């Protein structure tokens, strides 16, 4: 008997219309846990690096985390993996909600799609009965509308549906996959789903998920619940509002947005709007929020309420989470009423709420600076908000200039030319980032931005405070009950931290400390992404309920796998290195690993080079960011080094690398 996992994947060949139930190797769970780890292993094994994102040979993998469907609180994440049409690298995006547990209850750990359907279809999974159904009647429908129509068609409101909107159907590079209370958005995975002719996946499951040691597992769950209650009653002082408590950023519960509106360079501009947030703006935003937010909502088996239902007059009710309330609002430098209204349309279209607003703001900036003209934008309204609605419609339909903008700011700038590249200044590895404009270079964040395979800082950072506390008393109080640190030295790092640039040492944390802090933060994200636990209860917040002090016990009692901190750390590093290897095999090298030039006002090129040098060594990589043969052997990844040797990425003499081959990859 398999515990926590079902031991079976669904293999769906959309070209042939073939469906198989395939038993998986239990050894994979021991090595890679599940979720992202086993997704990456499948992508490595079965999709050659030469494969184009829109090739029938590219896989689209919907994976549940190892603990999804168990009583573990917040274990509800679906990890969607493929090759990205935007970055040309491995894309993996997580979504919460109820879909992953439902798939487990239907008897499957993953659904793996290959090929392309000649007609638009959706997959209907009803326990052991699985069928590919015609979806021609759903063509052009919104993502949320599609889910509702499928539930009506199947006569079951409990069916969980992951669907794309018009953006996915038209292969927009920022297309998302929407699933009720959450979405998998980053990297254009919705475009790959649309390219495969797959409109939606509907799931209904009524089976059990087995637990190896139920009594011990439930006791651990109760301890987590009690800790969550305690943390909610005892918020952390001295940090920004969304970091005081738990959960993914509590944007739908808070009204104080001074930090996020004055420190970000919204509207694709070069400068922050320090004058934006006033008492009048705060009052108006608060009124809009309280009048439109009908209730706060949670994902499956989670006591946190990180999302909300939004009801705007004249529009259908929809669900919103995290920074979506800010991204559209501030891209247009407008108000929250506009942001909520356009976000409703964008959710139905199925687009990423980080990248898409920046693409629209990018287009407006090009127009205002004469790079795009009336000839490029015929019929565009003259009013600010009208421009953004018009651009959104054009992008998702790939009409006119929208066909160019639909590929994201990096590719659009290359196609437009005439200096447009200077305005596409917020990309890392061709992917739009949070639009920050900060002062002194932060060594820790430099490394996370530059080297993170997720290419999305909000799902890399966490655990360690973003800035030092003002007084020693505050620092001492914080570290006093900091049980989550993997080593006591991290407490001293925080106690010794000075404000960057305001005292004698602007480079604190040091290079060595920065490597260790980044390793800690990423380690926890890779564990969460393999277990399917929401980052809001583990890797993102300060002092979370899940960490190394209890994760090994959860895994052991839940799965029956013998687990301790050392083995779990090794598994996390194995997964992180395997994802890196996938991207290295796709051509990524050191020259690709750099944050936007104007991300920080004050930069230190020599320090940045040293940070990369030392971080690569710390990770067991060479100076091009390629895992070495020796380190791959330590992680039981010899099959990776064998492949690298055959391809000339590594050479026989001690596994040293070939030259930098990260020459610009052009869009096919």
Q: How far apart are CA 363 and CA 380, in angstroms?
A: 11
> What pLDDT sits at residue 664?
42
Mean pLDDT lowest among 69-83, 366-380, 453-467: 453-467
Quote the CA–CA distance of 519 and 517 in Å, as a whole number.
5
Cα 295 versus chain centre, distance: 25
What average pLDDT score do residues 428-441 get?
84
503: confidence class by pLDDT, cuts 50, 70, 90: very low
Give, in order, the Cα–Cα distances in Å from 439 to each of 258, 436, 442, 579.
Answer: 17, 10, 9, 31
Task: Please compute, for residue 15, the number of CA atoms within 13 A of its CA located in the half-sphere on the CB side.
Answer: 8
User: Considering only CA atoms, which of 312, 327, 331 is closest in space to residue 251?
Assistant: 327
CATH number of this structure's domain 441-647, picked from the four choices 1.10.599.10, 1.10.10.10, 3.40.190.170, 3.40.50.1000: 1.10.599.10
Six-digit token pair at 156? Answer: 């079951």
Is pLDDT above 80 for 363? yes
Q: Determine phi and psi for 114, rounding to 5 degrees.
A: -135, 165
Predicted TM-score of the model (pTM): 0.95
**212: closest CA among 567, 553, 572?**
553
The answer on pLDDT for 667 being more than 60 is no
Helix (H, G, I), strand (E, B) or coil at 175: strand
Per-residue model confidence (pLDDT) at position 266: 75
For the chain, percent of residues with pLDDT exceeding 90: 79
Q: Which residues contact 215 (CB under 8 A, 6 or more apart)?
A: none
- Supply 576's token pair: 């992180």
State residue 581's pLDDT score: 98
Q: CA-CA distance, 420 to 363, in Å (whole number)?
A: 9
pLDDT of residue 549 exceeding 80, the answer is: yes
Residue 332 has pLDDT above 80, yes or no: yes
Which residue carries 């515990």 as its tokens?
3
Q: Count Cβ atoms below 10 Å from residue 408 Cβ, excluding itself.
A: 27
The pLDDT assigned to 98 comes to 97
Mean pLDDT lowest among 11-15, 258-262, 407-411, 552-556: 258-262
Provide the pLDDT for residue 116.
Answer: 98
State the burial class of residue 422 (Cβ atoms within 10 Å of its Cβ: 0-12, 13-18, 19+): exposed
Reference 657, options 594, 587, 595; nearest CA is 587
Q: How confident is the model at residue 507 (pLDDT cuts 50, 70, 90)?
A: low
Domain locations in the chain as residue ranges: 8-204, 248-427, 441-647
**Given pLDDT bands bounded at 50, 70 and 90, which one contains residue 252?**
confident
Bridge partner list, 204: 126
Q: Which two tokens stand for residue 452?
A: 């993170």
Coil/strand/helix, residue 23: strand
> Rounded to an integer, what distance in angstroms lies between the CA atom of residue 316 and that of residue 664?
44
Report the run of H or E that residue 94 belongs to, with start and end: strand 90-95
What is the rounded CA–CA span in Å between residue 6 and residue 462? 31
pLDDT band at 263 (very low <50, low <70, confident <90, very high): confident
Torsion from C-alpha of 452, 455, 461, 467, nearest 10 degrees: 100
- Rounded distance between C-alpha atoms, residue 508 and residue 69, angstroms: 42
CA-closest candidate to residue 120, choices 168, 189, 63, 185: 168
Query: At 256, is the pLDDT very low, low, confident or very high (cuts 50, 70, 90)?
Result: confident
Cα 486 versus chain centre, distance? 24
Q: CATH number for 248-427: choose from 3.40.50.720, 1.10.569.10, 3.30.230.10, 2.40.50.140.
A: 1.10.569.10
Question: What mean pLDDT, rounded, does the chain reach?
Answer: 92
Residue 5 has pLDDT above 50, yes or no: yes
For residue 212, with 0-12 CB atoms within 10 Å meaning exposed, 13-18 middle and 19 or more buried, which class applies? middle
C-beta atoms surrounding 417 within 10 Å: 9
* pLDDT of amino acid 172: 98
Q: Which CATH number fits domain 8-204: 3.10.105.10, 3.40.50.2300, 3.60.9.10, 3.10.28.10?
A: 3.60.9.10
pLDDT > 50? residue 640:
yes
User: Could you read off the pLDDT of 22-52 as tens digits, one per residue?
Assistant: 999 999 999 999 999 999 999 999 999 999 9
* CA 258 from centre of chain: 24
Position 541 confidence tier, pLDDT thresholds 50, 70, 90? very high
State the pLDDT confidence band at 612, using cuts at 50, 70 and 90. Answer: very high
pLDDT tens track for 53-83: 999 999 999 999 999 999 999 999 999 999 9
DSSP 246-309: SSS--TTT----HHHHHSB-GGG-SS--TTS--HHHHHHHHHHHHHHEEEEE--TT-S---EEE
Comparing 557 with 660, the larger pLDDT belongs to 557
> What is the widest separation between alpha-carbon atoms in the chain?
69
Q: Which of 131, 183, 187 minimizes the C-alpha distance to 10?
A: 131
The 8-class DSSP code of residue 420 comes to G
| Neighbouring C-beta atoms of residue 369, cutoff 10 Å | 13
Alpha-carbon dihedral of residues 229, 233, 236, 240, nearest 10 degrees?
100
Mean pLDDT of 243-272: 79
Query: Which residues 6+ apart lie within 8 Å of 400 measured at CB?
Result: 376, 377, 378, 394
Q: How far apart are CA 539 and CA 214, in angstroms?
A: 25
248-427: same fold as 8-204? no
Rounded CA gap, 151 and 200, in Å?
A: 12
Grouping H, G, I as helix, E, B as strand and the rest as coil, residue 121 is strand
The SS3 call for residue 79 is: strand
470 pLDDT higher than 80: yes
Cis peptide before 466 (omega within 30 of 0): no
Can you tell me which residue has the tokens 């929208």?
402
Q: What is the pLDDT of residue 325?
A: 86
Q: Which residue has the tokens 């990180």?
A: 306
Q: Are 34 and 65 in contact (CB under 8 A)?
A: yes
Helix, strand and coil percent figures for the chain, each rounded to 5? 45, 15, 45
pLDDT top residue among 271 and 13: 13
Query: Which uninterrupted H or E stretch holds 20?
Result: strand 18-23
Rounded to whole angstroms, how far apart are CA atoms 485 and 527? Answer: 15
């Amino acid at each position: 008997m398999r515990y926590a996992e079902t031991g079976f994947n669904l293999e769906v060949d959309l070209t042939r219309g073939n469906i198989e139930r395939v038993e998986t190797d239990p050894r994979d769970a021991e090595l890679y846990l599940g979720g992202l780890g086993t997704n990456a292993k499948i992508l490595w094994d079965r999709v050659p690096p030469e494969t184009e994102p829109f090739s029938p040979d590219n896989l689209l993998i919907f994976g549940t985390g190892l603990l999804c469907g168990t009583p573990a609180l917040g274990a509800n994440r679906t990890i969607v993996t493929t090759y990205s049409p935007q970055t040309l690298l491995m894309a993996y995006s997580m979504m919460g909600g109820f879909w992953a547990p439902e798939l487990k209850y239907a008897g499957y750990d993953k659904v793996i799609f290959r090929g392309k359907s000649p007609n638009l279809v959706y997959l209907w999974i009803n326990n052991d009965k699985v069928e590919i159904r015609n979806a021609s009647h759903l063509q052009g429908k919104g993502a949320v509308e599609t889910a509702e129509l499928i539930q009506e068609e199947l006569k079951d409101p409990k069916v969980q549906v992951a669907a794309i909107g018009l953006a996915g159907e038209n292969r927009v590079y920022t297309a998302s996959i929407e699933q009720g209370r959450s979405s998998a958005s980053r990297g254009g995975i919705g475009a790959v789903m649309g390219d495969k002719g797959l409109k939606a996946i509907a799931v209904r499951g009524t089976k059990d998920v087995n637990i190896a040691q139920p009594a011990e597992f439930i006791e651990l769950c109760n301890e987590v619940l009690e800790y969550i209650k305690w943390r909610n009653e005892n918020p952390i002082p001295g940090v920004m509002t969304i970091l005081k408590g738990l959960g993914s950023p509590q944007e739908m519960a808070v009204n104080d947005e001074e930090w996020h509106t004055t420190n970000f360079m919204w509207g694709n501009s070069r400068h922050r709007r320090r004058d934006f947030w006033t008492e009048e703006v705060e009052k108006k935003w608060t009124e809009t929020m309280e009048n439109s937010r009908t209730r706060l909502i949670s994902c499956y088996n989670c006591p946190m309420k990180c999302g909300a239902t939004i009801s705007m007059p004249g529009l259908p009710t929809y669900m919103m989470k995290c920074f979506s309330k800010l991204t559209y609002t501030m891209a247009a430098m407008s108000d929250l009423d506009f942001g909520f209204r356009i976000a409703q349309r964008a959710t139905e279209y199925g687009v990423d709420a980080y990248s898409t607003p920046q693409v629209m703001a990018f287009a407006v900036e090009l127009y205002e600076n004469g790079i795009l003209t009336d000839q490029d934008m015929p019929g565009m309204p003259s009013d600010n908000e009208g421009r953004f609605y018009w651009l959104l419609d054009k992008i998702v339909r790939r009409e006119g200039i929208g066909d160019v903008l639909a590929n994201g700011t990096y590719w659009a700038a290359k196609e437009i030319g005439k200096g447009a590249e200077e305005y596409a200044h917020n990309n890392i590895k061709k992917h739009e980032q949070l639009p920050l404009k900060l002062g002194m270079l932060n060594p820790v964040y430099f490394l996370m931005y530059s080297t993170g395979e997720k290419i999305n800082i909000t799902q890399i950072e966490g655990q360690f405070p973003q800035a030092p506390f003002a007084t020693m008393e505050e620092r001492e109080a914080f570290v006093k009950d900091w049980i989550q640190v993997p080593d006591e030295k991290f407490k001293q790092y925080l106690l010794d931290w000075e404000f960057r640039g305001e005292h004698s040492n602007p480079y604190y944390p040091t290079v060595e400390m920065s490597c260790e802090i980044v390793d800690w933060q990423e380690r926890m994200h890779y564990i969460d992404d393999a277990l399917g636990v929401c980052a809001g209860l583990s890797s993102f917040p300060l002092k979370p309920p899940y960490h190394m002090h209890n994760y090994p016990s959860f895994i052991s009692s839940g799965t029956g796998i013998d687990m301790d901190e050392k083995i779990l750390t090794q598994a996390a590093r194995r997964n992180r290195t395997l994802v890196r290897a996938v991207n290295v095999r796709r051509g990524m090298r050191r020259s690709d690993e750099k944050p936007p030039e104007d991300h920080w006002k004050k930069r230190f090129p020599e320090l940045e080079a040293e940070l990369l040098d030392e971080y690569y060594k710390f990770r067991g990589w060479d100076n091009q960011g390629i895992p070495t043969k020796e380190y791959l052997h330590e992680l039981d990844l010899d099959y990776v080094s064998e492949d690298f040797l055959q391809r000339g990425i590594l050479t026989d003499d001690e596994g040293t690398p070939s030259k930098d081959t990260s020459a610009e990859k052009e869009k096919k």
